[in-house]
Amino acid sequence: MASVKPLRGIVAPPVAPAEPALAKKKAATLSRVPAAAPPLPVKPKPQKPGVTLDGGWDRRISRGLVSPDSAIDLHGHTLASAHAMLDHGLERAIARGDRVLLLVTGNPPRPESERPHARGAIRSAVSDWIASSRHAGNIAAVRGAHPRHGGMGALYIILRRGRGG
């Protein structure tokens, strides 16, 4: 504070010494303030699919070194039957202890396609189905498939390890 110079035209008001009676009164009121409520227990956030894999998985997927334990092909299904088939397929894969499930949805349409659409209805609904599935807690990640397994027309669903190991 010794090196601080006051601004021109601004004068600081003089500081009055604190009165002992006032200090005692403030201390008394502070001691009567109720203690803060204890913090609420923090619930662990459920992990979302896609954030639980290490870099090794992504390297193996990009190099085509991942081989699916089972596959579900949704070609030729309606939205309702594809959703039911995905649910049953996930249930069977989890019961068997599979680690990687190949989900074949079909390639996106070519740009010269007559119908103006970006991708099929099943493919666009799959991410919502998986996120809201009763099996979402068992899914570690969803990744695009390697070209040898269908490329743009397929997905890998990587399932969490079972409790036993």
Rounded to an integer, the average pLDDT of 69-76 is 88
Residue 7 pLDDT class (50, 70, 90 cuts): confident
pTM: 0.61
pLDDT at residue 93 is higher than 90:
yes
The pLDDT, as a whole number, for residue 42 is: 60
- Given phi > 0 = left and psi -120 to 50 = alpha, else beta, which region is 54? beta
pLDDT at residue 5 is higher than 50:
yes
Q: In this structure, what DSSP letter does residue 23 have? A: H
- Identify which has the larger pLDDT, 92 or 23: 92
pLDDT in tens, 109-142: 666 666 655 567 888 888 899 889 899 999 988 9
Between the alpha carbon of residue 111 and those of residues 105, 108, 116, 117, 123, the distances in Å are 18, 9, 8, 9, 17
Cα–Cα distance measured from residue 87 to residue 47, given in angstroms and rounded to the nearest whole number: 20
Q: What is the DSSP string of 40-70?
A: PPPPPPPPPTTSS--HHHHHHHHTT----SE
Residue 25 pLDDT class (50, 70, 90 cuts): low
- 138 burial (CB, 10 Å; 0-12 / 13-18 / 19+) is middle
Listed by start position, the domains of the chain span 55-159
State the fold for domain 55-159.
Answer: Ribosomal Protein S8; Chain: A, domain 1 (3.30.1370)
Residue 75 pLDDT class (50, 70, 90 cuts): confident
Rounded to an integer, the average pLDDT of 77-85 is 90
Query: Which segment of 21-30, 84-93, 98-107 scores lowest on mean pLDDT?
Result: 21-30
Containing 36, the helix (H) or strand (E) segment is none
